[in-house]
Amino acid sequence: MAFFHDDNLGFDGEGEFMRAHGFVIVCAAESSPTSPLDATLLPERSIGFGRSRRGPSFLMRWTDDTHHPYSAPTRTDYGVQDQSLNRYLNAVHESDPLVGALADQLQAMGWPTTR
């Protein structure tokens, strides 16, 4: 089992929690609250794991751009009063196709996926 995350795993002992619950590969990156990482880390590391496995495996990918303070490169105005909600909607707009592309690539390698 593998767990990939865009941020460090020090908060609340996330890394230790994942390892204690069966994740053999726990991979994280240092990030900044103002620099989105889903676009750079989502496909590459996860696909590399997918290619390296034979037989049953489990991959969990935790995106971070859709986590407060929601830093996405696009700045679409969704017409909502709450600017935090607007930033969140932009982050979802950016991350959703990345998750879809990851699922498509894993399916092409024969992995069963859920969306």
* pLDDT per residue as tens digits for the range 67-77: 888 877 778 99
Q: Report the alpha-carbon distance of residue 37 to residue 98 in Å, rounded.
A: 11
Q: Is residue 51 part of a domain?
A: yes
pLDDT for residue 106 is more than 70: yes
Q: Is residue 114 part of a domain?
A: no
Q: Is residue 115 part of a domain?
A: no
Answer yes or no: are the C-beta atoms of 58 and 113 closer than 8 Å: no
Q: Is residue 27 part of a domain?
A: yes
Q: Is residue 113 part of a domain?
A: no
Q: Which residues pair with 2 in a beta bridge?
A: 25, 59
Q: Could you report the per-residue pLDDT of 59-97, keeping only the tens digit for each?
A: 777 777 888 888 777 789 999 999 999 999 999 998 888
Beta strands, E only, 36-110: 59-62
23 or 114, greater pLDDT: 23
Q: In one letter, which amino acid is 9?
A: L
Report the number of distinct structural domains present in the chain. Answer: 1
Q: Is residue 73 part of a domain?
A: yes
Q: Could you report the per-residue pLDDT of 22-58, keeping only the tens digit for each?
A: 888 887 766 555 555 666 655 666 677 777 766 667 7
Q: CA nearest 89: which of 112, 59, 66?
A: 66
Q: Which domain holds residue 100?
A: 2-108
